[in-house]
Amino acid sequence: MLKTKVAVLVSGGGTNLQALLDAEKAGVIKSGEIVAVIASNESAYALERAKNAGVPAVAVPKKSCASQAEYEEKISAVLAQYGVELIVLAGFLSILSADFVAKWPKRIINIHPSLIPSFCGEGYYGLRVHEAALQKGVKVTGATVHFVNEVPDGGEIILQKSVPVYKNDTPELLQRRVMERAEWKLLPRATEIISAKILKEGNKYGL
């Protein structure tokens, strides 16, 4: 069966990557195949998760590149090597340039741990998002999967799921609940939706 070739870009532990790998194994993702994992640093545990699943894993350390352009050229080379058609950002902490994103229209998706447009954009990542939500006193938060464009967290929303905020929550407790109840469910679902769409439309961008 023909499948959309997916690359997952990561920076840390790779819990969302694990959710994707598990979903592919379980048949939740049936239209896409994870063909490569690219990490922004060599020590990312996500690389181990990929290797354990038999998926090619490559570190492209940003600090070893002289410029953003060189960094993105190295990423592009890996994407080309594996014939990637869809990029999934799963806890990828590097901002991609407008030039890079423009080459992948509606072919890059990202998971963000809030209900966009709340607590999103530059500077909002990891625990900072949940700290801001608790400081504001919101009663509901969640996660959003969206297309990536040149504006951080600014692309069209694909899926959202809400998660309750409790009175005694810490940022860590809230982060875990959002991951378990929203992120790990939404990202595989969105990956399947977009992979199926790419198959249906054909690889019209010629990527």
Q: Catalytic residue positions?
A: 112
Could you tell me the end-to-end alpha-carbon distance of the chain, in angstroms, rounded to an integer?
A: 20
Distance CA 79, CA 101 (A): 13
- Give the CA count within 13 Å in the CB-facing half-sphere of 19: 24
Distance CA 77, CA 162 (A): 37
Strand pairing of 157-164 and 140-147?
A: antiparallel
Strand pairing of 32-39 and 4-10?
A: parallel
Tracing tokens 């679902």 back to the chain, one arrives at: 189
Phi/psi for 6 (5° steps) reads: -115, 135
Angle, helices 171-178/127-136, rounded to nearest 10 degrees: 110
Q: Which of 74, 102, 83 is nearest to 6 (CA)?
A: 83
